[in-house]
């Protein structure tokens, strides 16, 4: 039974940032439309996570991506929420036993955006300028383009990072195009980083709905809004990440696309300073998405050993 005894209210767990809430609201709307439900049949449950509370340290030093999901997944296990809405790029490669992704919403633009109040693009930053980022992937990729730049820790939600730019903490930063679009803040994009320059994080731009595998009603509800093409590309990308045992400590990028019945995947592993890069590109049948992602990881890891 979903929700409190006798009410049938569907409880959607989410972080409390404006972007997380926008994603939860989009999920609720899609469920309402798919099942003919009213808004009052849902409850948005905001859950504060360790990753949201500790903002003065790099994620790699305090436990990684799982700090954004721990408390939410505990609520799923305890059945105090029925489903959880996540930014897929924030999810660890392996989920806890008994939990699974049951649906993905249609993917937004997966690219990164360069954002600055002073210059139009990354190349216009002055020599030695401060670049704000909490992502080792973005740092490494930026240093590969501009090795002269200096990095400063830049954690917090989109609004917090925009304030830091206004306060002069850094001259530029990177944000996901998808997040800015979903928040109606795309006007702040100075330049979009094309994938040849900055391959995105695995699963960037995708929303995932996580459930407890024993919750059959939740599964039936969210299956109706699953976007299969997004699910296939995300499965490929996450297989790449899982095989590499990737975390926020390792600069890893990956992106898959579908054309007809063919899936194309590009992956990248970098050194922290961006000087070393192992890149891989693989195509294959859509039905082999996980195999393609896994094989790409094996090949990229072999390249990395050669470069070491």
**Angle CA 131–135–140, to nearest 5:** 70
Q: Residues 52, 90, 109, 112: which is the catalytic one?
A: 90
CA distance 203 to 230: 9
Q: Is 90 a catalytic residue?
A: yes
Q: Which residues contact 266 (CB under 8 A, 6 or more apart)?
A: 195, 199, 254, 255, 256, 279, 280, 281
Q: pLDDT tens for the chain, 308 residues: list them.
A: 344 333 489 999 999 999 999 999 999 999 999 999 999 999 999 998 776 655 555 555 545 556 678 899 999 999 999 999 999 998 888 899 999 999 999 999 999 999 999 999 999 999 999 999 989 999 999 999 999 999 998 878 888 899 999 999 999 999 999 999 999 999 999 999 999 999 999 999 999 999 999 999 999 999 999 999 999 999 999 999 999 987 567 899 999 999 999 999 999 999 999 999 999 999 999 999 999 999 999 999 888 765 55
**Domains of the chain, with CATH numbers?**
1-105+206-226 (3.40.190.10), 112-193 (3.40.190.10), 227-308 (3.30.160.40)
How is 2-45 classified by DSSP, letter by letter?
-SSTTT-PEEEEE-SSHHHHHHHHHHHHHHHHHHT--GGGEEEE
pTM above 0.75, yes or no: yes
């Amino acid at each position: 039974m979903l929700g409190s005894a006798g009410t049938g209210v569907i409880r959607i767990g989410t972080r409390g940032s404006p972007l997380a809430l926008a994603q939860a609201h989009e999920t609720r709307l899609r469920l309402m439309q798919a099942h003919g439900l009213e808004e009052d049949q849902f409850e948005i449950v905001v859950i504060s996570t360790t990753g949201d509370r500790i903002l003065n340290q790099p994620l790699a030093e305090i436990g990684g991506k799982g700090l954004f999901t721990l408390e939410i997944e505990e609520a799923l296990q305890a059945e105090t929420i029925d489903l959880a809405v996540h930014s897929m790029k924030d999810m660890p490669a392996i989920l806890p036993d008994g939990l699974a992704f049951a649906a993905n919403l249609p993917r937004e633009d997966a690219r990164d955006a360069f954002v600055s109040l002073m210059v139009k693009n990354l190349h216009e930053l002055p020599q030695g300028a401060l670049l704000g980022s909490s992502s080792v992937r973005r740092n490494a990729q930026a240093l590969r383009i501009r090795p002269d730049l200096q990095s400063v820790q830049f954690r917090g939600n989109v609004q917090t990072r925009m304030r830091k730019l206004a306060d002069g903490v850094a001259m530029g930063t990177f944000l996901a195009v998808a997040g800015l679009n979903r928040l109606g803040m795309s006007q702040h994009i100075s330049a979009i980083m094309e994938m040849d320059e900055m391959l995105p994080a695995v699963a960037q731009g995708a929303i995932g709905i996580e459930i407890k595998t024993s919750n059959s009603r939740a599964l039936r509800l969210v299956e109706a809004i699953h976007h299969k093409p997004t699910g296939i590309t995300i499965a490929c990308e996450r297989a790449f990440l899982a095989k590499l045992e990737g975390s926020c400590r390792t600069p890893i990028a990956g992106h898959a696309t579908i054309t007809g019945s063919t899936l194309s995947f590009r992956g990248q592993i970098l050194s922290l300073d961006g000087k070393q890069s192992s890149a891989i590109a693989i195509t294959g049948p859509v039905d082999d998405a996980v195999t393609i992602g896994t094989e790409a990881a094996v090949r990229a890891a072999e390249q990395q050993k050669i470069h070491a």
